[in-house]
Chains A and B, each alone.
Chain A
Amino acid sequence: MGIRVIAEKCSGCKLCVKACPFGAITVTKKLARIDIAKCNFCGACVEACKKFNAIELIYENVQTVDKSKYRGVWVFAEQKMGGISDVVFELLGKGRQLARSLAEPICAMLLGDQVASAARDLICFGADKVYLAESEQLGVFIEDTFTEVVTGLIKEHKPNIVLFGATSIGRSLAPRVASRLETGLTADCTGLEIDPATKDLLQTRPAFGGNLMATIICPNHRPQMASVRPKVFKPVQRNELRMGRIIKYDYKNHTLTQRAQLLAVVKEAAKTGGIAEAEIIVAGGFGLGDAENFKIIEKLAQAMGAAVGASRRAVDSGWVSLPNQVGQTGKTVRPKLYIACGISGAIQHLVGMQSSEIIVAINKNPQAPIFNVADYCIVGDVLEVVPALTKEIEKIRLAEQDELTVTDGELESQLVSSGVRQS
């Protein structure tokens, strides 16, 4: 792989200089020069130079694998205590689309101790086949043993694509597996597609803190591996009628080394109003001014039965704690409704919430980038708008409850006991 400038075609127009995201090109004496140390061979300059065709990428065709031998889209079925993580259902949804355009099967691999019952779930959620490895040693996640089993499975069955959730387990396991298999891995993909021409997997992910989107391929190695953050793709619907095969994997041929050992697990106290699972998120930003003002966000969230989110600056200022942070360095969320209050919308924040179904933005600066991603925009002082909105919501809730009281006394008491209505 290399890149070269064809001197006789180059006009020194500097279009390539502008196009290069890495600042690798300079033009001296009407000739473009590419600093190979800065170049990432992304081809942006080749694209920009279509008029002159003076820059070309040189591919060395190193076909290291016979691609035709690799078939199937696989999903690593992360589970905890037999419960499959939600991200797996999201990956199965996306994986099914990919498998369909390749006309290949979609499979899951499930590792654990006595987790066979979960294998059936994976089929209901779309897997054609489930590779099941069960052992006491696989009861808890340890990198060594899981790497051993996962690479063993991959080597034996040669999948074309393997997807992992970008969870703490996935992020620790996938690179180790890719490293052992000497293949490529792309982290935190937000888009996965099959290139109709080459049948390669086009993996899109944010780069430079979300300022740019990079599309990455793994042309000469198999399997193609990618990880995806939770909540990026939509989960598939469960279908009880689906059929599939469960294939037990006889890992016993492998000697499982275990150079690490889990000693203890301290569950974090279940966080109330966790943003990852919430259907509605009310998020506050630096525009609120101080910790005291941030409380109006909590009030609105409470009125709406929503979780509280925050921008990085609000978290850094100590108004709200880290688990509430949305964005590149925080969590990716995909609620039905996201209300951004006093958040200007730095790109790092936008990448974490832009796939929410409905986005409402409240900000005093009409130029704030948050308005570019919002469905409903209110230009105004958050300190006025948010309390007014809270009052309005509370009014509606009261009205609803009154209605219920009149029509159905039983339902009313249920609502009180389930905590929907505050007594």
Chain B
Amino acid sequence: MNIIVCVKQVPDILEVSVDKETNTLIREGVDSVINPFDLYAVEEGLRLKEQYGGQVYVLSMGPPQAIATLRQGLSLGAERGILLSDIGFAGADTLATSYTLAKAVKKIGHFDLVICGRQAVDGDTAHVGPSLAEKLGVPHVSCVIKIHEVTEEYMIAERITEDAKEKVKLSLPGLITVCKGINEPRFPSLKWKINAARTRVEVWSAHDIGADESKIGLKGSPTRVVKMTTPQHHRAGQMLEGPVGEQVADLVSKLRERQVL
């Protein structure tokens, strides 16, 4: 089966913090990494390939530095890495992003399955997977935690919801987004690392994928960020002093006053 895995390069979100004085992000020393959810997507693609045969392609959109992320995909065992990079793609929201990815998938040609991580940790929207499925005109299942069976026509996947696990039969070609817990991503092997170092990551421009200029990047994005602020969540906290016994007694009486005890 031919599998396309979409990956994104993101700042290591746990390292990002805000400079309290200037209200801006401190970016120095923050590494770019592959979106953690995408690692599960790559791993699941590789496992399906190993079980059913075929090829895994990794696809990303981003600045030229994102080649490193595709190389990481190659070093895990993907056959081909494609980066969509073009100044015209800049400023894309999830709609423009899924349009762009869809154009690239169509250029790749035949596929059986597209796998995306459930969401990217920098944007946290979980939009691109379903939106891409729509643009490709294929069905999708979100939040897949297990794949039970794959045939040429369909796959049976288990998705996770707030209170249940649901077994869904999805006709192929289709798209799934995967959750943490679906697998344990492997470490790159020497063989695939060498392969990655020796495989050229293809870089496609807007022209290469035949994208309509009005549908990519900022122009193709209906949404627009108009303001960035630092979250204000200050409360006038009351410090409870004294030895532990007093602190606790004080707290209890305060909570009773406010009728939560």
Contacts and interface: CB of A to CB of B under 8 A. Distances in A.
Q: Classify A-B as touching or not with yes or no (CB < 8 A).
A: yes
Top 6 A-B residue pairs of the complex, sorted by shortest distance between their CB atoms: A184-B222, A184-B223, A259-B139, A179-B134, A187-B125, A179-B131
Contact of B135 (A18, A179, A268): A179
Interface string B226-239: 11111101111111
8 contacts: A39-B90, A179-B134, A211-B231, A212-B228, A213-B231, A221-B222, A266-B164, A377-B237
Interface stretch (A67-75, A88-96, A384-392): A384-392
A377 B237 CA distance: 6
A31 interface: no
Contacts of A173: 130
A176 B221 contact: no
Given A41-B91, A372-B234, A259 B229 contact: no
A360 interface: yes
Contacts of A185: 94-95, 127, 223
A358 B139 contact: no
Tell me which of A22, A41, A208 has the highest count of chain B C-beta atoms within 10 A of its own C-beta.
A208
A173 B234 CA distance: 35
Nearest to B143: A168
Contact of B231 (A347, A359, A388): A347
Given A143-B140, A172-B142, A178-B95, A41 B225 contact: yes
B147 interface: no
Nearest to B219: A1
A375 B227 contact: no
B203 interface: no
A252 B24 CA distance: 53
A379 B243 CA distance: 10
Contacts of A329: 121
Contacts of B170: 259-260
A23 interface: yes
A147 interface: yes
A264 B237 contact: no
Q: Secondary structure at chain A's binding surface: helix, strand, loop or mixed?
A: mixed
Nearest to B17: A211
A261 B166 CA distance: 10
B38 interface: no
B244 A385 contact: yes
Given A188-B125, A388-B248, A377 B25 contact: no
Contacts of B139: 143-144, 259-260
B228 A213 contact: yes
A268 B164 contact: yes
Nearest to A60: B219
A37 B131 contact: no
Contacts of A384: 244
A42 B226 contact: yes
A336 interface: yes
Interface in B1-43: 11, 13-14, 16-18, 22, 24-25, 27
A38 B32 CA distance: 14
A187 B127 contact: yes
Given A259-B170, A267-B164, A392-B252, A211 B16 contact: yes
Contact of A215 (B98, B229, B260): B229
A43 B227 contact: yes
Contacts of A22: 25
B240 A378 contact: yes
B254 A376 contact: yes
A168 B134 contact: no
B211 to A, nearest CB: 15
Interface in B117-131: 121-131
Nearest to B139: A259
A373 B227 contact: no
Nearest to A312: B14
A219 B142 contact: no
Contacts of A216: 223-226
B247 A378 contact: yes
A212 B232 CA distance: 10
Interface in A199-245: 202, 206-221
Given A42-B225, A168-B161, A216-B223, A176 B231 contact: no
A320 interface: no
Contacts of B224: 1, 41, 216-219
B174 A360 contact: no
Interface in A99-147: 143-144, 147
A56 to B, nearest CB: 14
A374 interface: yes
A354 B231 CA distance: 11
B235 A373 contact: yes
A406 interface: no
Interface in A2-42: 2, 18-23, 36-42
B135 A373 contact: no
Interface in B140-157: 140-143, 156
Contacts of A393: 252, 261
B168 A263 contact: yes
B87 interface: yes
A187 B126 contact: yes
A284 interface: no
Contact of A43 (B95, B140, B226, B258): B226
Indicate the member of B135, B142, B174, B228 with the most A CB atoms within 10 Å: B228
A40 B168 contact: no
B105 interface: no
Contacts of B138: 259
Contacts of B121: 209, 329
B163 A212 contact: no
B249 A392 contact: yes
Interface in B203-230: 218-219, 221-230
Contact of B25 (A211, A380, A388, A396): A211
